[in-house]
Amino acid sequence: MKPSSQPSSRVTRWALGLAAGAVLAAGAALAQAPLKVGFVYVSPVGDAGWTYQHDQGRKEMEKALSGKVETKFVENVPEGADAERVIRELASSGNKLIFTTSFGYMNPTIKVAAQFPNSVFEHATGYKTAKNVGIYNARFYEGRYLCGVIAGKMTKSNVAGYVAAFPIPEVVQGINAFTQGMRSVNPKAELKVIWTNSWYDPGREREAANTLISQGADVVTHHTDSTAVVQAAEEKGKYAFGYHSDMSKYGAHAHLTATTHQWGAYYTKIAQEVIAGNWKPASVWGGLKDGMIKLAPLNSAVPKDVATLVAAKEKDIVAGKLHPFQGPVKDNSGKERVAAGKTMSDDEMQKMDFYVEGVQGSLPKK
Amino acid sequence: MMDTLIPILVAAVAAGTPMVFAALGELVTEKSGVLNLGVEGMMLMGAVTGFAVASQTGNPWVGTLAGMVAGAAMALIFAVLTLNLMANQVASGLALTLFGVGLSAFLGKPYESVSLTVAPPPAIPLLAEIPVLGPLLFKYHVLVYVSWALFAVIAWFLYRSRAGLVLRSIGESPESAHAIGYPVIRIRYLATLFGGAMAGLGGAYLSEFYAPLWVEGMTAGRGWIALALVVFATWRPARVMIGAYLFGGVTIAQFFAQGAGIAIASQFLSSLPYLATIVVLVFISRNLATIRLNAPVSLAKSYRPD
């Protein structure tokens, strides 16, 4: 709009007044403008899985802070150069809070964050923080432990199966916690592990699950991204646990429960802090206690006494009375890893590179 | 022993079936003298179309049919390029694969991470109860039996029927066949479309019944393996079947080795099916006489009937 050079006539003065009013109103609106929040997802949202749970968290935040936030997400962003471009694009288009939800986004996040000091970045599952970068992750292994307890009670063959993607500490934590839980109620039970060397390859995941089942496993679970393992168990009439999301719709009979990720409360809290201006970079590793993970509703096939036991164990974990890796913990070659009376530290857990007693085979070396 | 062997064999058949479809189709195409290297692309298009249609309509069989049509449509592009426009078959086939990989990834975006719920294969009553033979023969998905029927029909067609003889003669010497009055181009069209539909069927089986999920590039080289199988089988249908099941068998056996706790790097085991198939392939096709007897002489050569 070109400014009027001659504000002499009455009409012009009136128009000017209106314009000033509009500017004031715009200013007020600016003050209350919703916080723009961007999300970067590694895979499509789909209807179950890692990214789906993050998107559920985004929706919960939007609902909790309705009117105060405006969210946007970019899905299926490969880890690497593309990620940096997407994160920068989100930052430069005015998103003041950006969640990057995959491990491989760590370096791009740090890099872009340095160029946008006035934006806040939150990176999931990484280990690098900065002045405006916080990190967050969940103690998935606590849920694995509880699933293990159910598996130990439900197995008839005393063999459980685990389809795993890559031998990194996070996956190994899950395998070991599951085994610890299982053997806490059934010391005879053992776990077989098959590595697929891929996060998402439904064909291989299903083949691996079928193999485990034909080798005697009657309870299977997975640390990969698809629902193939639950579906395979349903077909073969065996039991399974979901991961990431409640996968009960893929196995009405097979699905006993699932370790589900709950990001909504955390996302809401972070957004509130950013709006209030009191956000500080932190490294958050939350578990059952913080509501970052939750067990999906138990299948009716789980007997009442088992359900009660699981609830009690969950309570103990929340209260800090029970830790999946409290000593004595031996590895599967018989070496003592945690002495009696001690518990494994977070640091040790994040470097876990051995199978606990009860897991068959040996851990592939990277 | 039987307890381990039977599950491996059963799983091997299920894992080998996508290659059975694709390789048998390619065999017929090549027998007419057309080399279509676009199998991987056609399989992917069959897989994504089959999955998308099945998840939209809720009917896996409509999806399967759509997958076959998609595979045939891809083959049609190839046929127009090579049979009418005389484009180089090797280059066109490679381009078709690249095109199929990209297009299927694009079309499949909305279906990634979506799951199909498919009823488990119904076991054939009574027969499935027979020890050993029951699980080994009578507990597969319907499409596995379809693949066996197709194998029988193709073997009969190629070597026992007049039409098959015409097809083979066109693969040997299109000039002579043309001189006798056979429609070389039309028959090559039909053979190419058939190969495409079979590749599409293999892809649809993979995404709709075997996985059953769609993911970008999910055929993971199975189309290339199917192509190699045709050569390794020296263009003989029975050997194609053996080769496909061998590939499936090694794929499954490596999982069994892991589950049994055998200490071999899982990364190495993952590459074993490809390795084993190539080794066997080289070993069998050493015999030059067999190859000369069975390879279509005019394979990959363009022919203009004038």
User: Which chain B residue's Cα is nearest to A159?
Assistant: B259
Per-residue pLDDT, averaged over A205-212, amounts to 91
State whether A361 and B258 contact (CB < 8 Å).
Answer: yes
Which of residues B8 and A328 earns the better pLDDT score? A328
Which of residues B149 and A32 earns the better pLDDT score? B149
What's the confidence (pLDDT) of residue B265? 73
CB within 8 A of A18, min separation 6: which ones?
none
Q: Which of A78-82, A269-273, B48-52 comes out lowest in average pLDDT?
A: A78-82
**Secondary element (H or E) of residue B98:** helix B89-108
Three-class DSSP labels, chain A: CCCCCCCCCHHHHHHHHHHHHHHHHHHHHHHCCCEEEEEECCCCCCCCCHHHHHHHHHHHHHHHCECCEEEEEECCCCCCHHHHHHHHHHHHCCCCEEEECCHHHHHHHHHHHHHCCCCEEEEECCCCCECCEEEEEECHHHHHHHHHHHHHHHCCCCEEEEEECCCCHHHHHHHHHHHHHHHHHCCCCEEEEEECCCCCCHHHHHHHHHHHHHCCCCEEEEECCCCHHHHHHHHHCCEEEEEECCCHHHCCCCEEEEEEECCHHHHHHHHHHHHHCCCCCCEEEECCCCCCEEECCCCCCCCHHHHHHHHHHHHHHHHCCCCCCECCEEECCCCEEECCCCECCHHHHCCCCCCECCECCCCCCC
**Secondary element (H or E) of residue B184:** helix B184-204
What's the confidence (pLDDT) of residue A13? 55
What mean pLDDT, rounded, does chain A reach? Answer: 89
State whether A46 and B113 contact (CB < 8 Å).
Answer: yes
Residues of chain A contacting B210 with CB distance shorter than 8 Å: 203, 206
Evaluate if residue A32 carries a pLDDT over 90: no
Which of residues A55 and A364 earns the better pLDDT score? A55
Question: What count of CB pairs under 8 Å joins A to B?
Answer: 103
Per-residue pLDDT, averaged over B234-248, amounts to 89
Residues of chain A contacting B265 with CB distance shorter than 8 Å: 364-365
What's the confidence (pLDDT) of residue B75? 97
Confidence of residue B163 (pLDDT cuts 50, 70, 90): very high
Residues of chain B contacting A47 with CB distance shorter than 8 Å: 113-115
Tell me how far CA of residue B118 lies from CA of A207, A225, A232, B175, B208, in angstroms.
16, 19, 11, 49, 8
Which of residues A157 and B280 earns the better pLDDT score? A157
Confidence of residue A15 (pLDDT cuts 50, 70, 90): low
Helix/strand/coil for B115 = strand
What's the confidence (pLDDT) of residue B127? 75
Evaluate if residue A89 carries a pLDDT over 60: yes
What's the confidence (pLDDT) of residue A92? 95
What mean pLDDT, rounded, does chain B reach? Answer: 88
State whether A362 and B261 contact (CB < 8 Å).
Answer: yes
**Angle ∠(B205,B256,A188) on CA atoms, nearest 5:** 125
What's the confidence (pLDDT) of residue B247? 87
Tens of pLDDT, residue by residue over A133-177, are 999 999 999 999 999 999 999 999 999 999 999 888 889 999 999
Tens of pLDDT, residue by residue over A213-246, are 989 999 999 998 888 899 899 988 999 999 999 9
Q: Which of A28-37, B64-73, B297-306 comes out lowest in average pLDDT?
A: A28-37
DSSP class of residue B88 equals: -
Residues paired with residue B230 on neighbouring β-strands, in sequence order: none
State whether B114 and A46 contact (CB < 8 Å).
Answer: yes
What's the confidence (pLDDT) of residue A4? 41
Q: Which of A25-29, A103-107, B64-68 comes out lowest in average pLDDT?
A: A25-29
Q: In this structure, are strands A190-195 and A159-164 parallel, antiparallel, or unpaired?
A: parallel
Which of residues A63 and B129 earns the better pLDDT score? A63
Could you tell me which CATH number the domain at A34-138 has?
3.40.50.2300
Q: Hey, is the C-beta of A215 within 8 angstroms of any chain B C-beta?
A: yes
User: Which chain A residue's Cα is nearest to B249?
Assistant: A207
Evaluate if residue B62 carries a pLDDT over 90: yes
Confidence of residue A21 (pLDDT cuts 50, 70, 90): low
Q: Hey, is the C-beta of B265 within 8 angstroms of any chain A C-beta?
A: yes
**Cβ proximity of B19 and B205 under 8 Å:** no
What's the confidence (pLDDT) of residue A5? 42
Considering the entire predicted model, what is its pTM?
A: 0.79
- Within 287-306 of B, beta carbons closer than 8 Å to A belong to none
What's the confidence (pLDDT) of residue A3? 42
Tens of pLDDT, residue by residue over A350-362, are 889 999 999 998 8
User: Which chain A residue's Cα is nearest to B105?
Assistant: A76
Evaluate if residue B294 carries a pLDDT over 50: yes
Ranges in chain A annotated CATH 3.40.50.2300: 34-138, 140-260+292-349
What's the confidence (pLDDT) of residue A112? 96
CATH match of A140-260+292-349 with 3.40.50.2000: no
What's the confidence (pLDDT) of residue B123? 64
Q: Which domains does chain B have, with CATH numbers?
A: 2-294 (1.10.3470)
- Matching residue, tokens 């007997």: A303
Residues of chain A contacting B213 with CB distance shorter than 8 Å: 202, 226-228
Evaluate if residue A319 carries a pLDDT over 90: yes
Tens of pLDDT, residue by residue over B196-221, are 999 999 999 999 988 888 888 888 88
Per-residue pLDDT, averaged over B225-252, amounts to 88
Evaluate if residue A317 carries a pLDDT over 50: yes
Confidence of residue B260 (pLDDT cuts 50, 70, 90): confident
Tens of pLDDT, residue by residue over A96-139, are 999 999 988 999 999 999 999 999 999 999 889 999 999 999 99
Percent residues over pLDDT 90 in chain A:
71
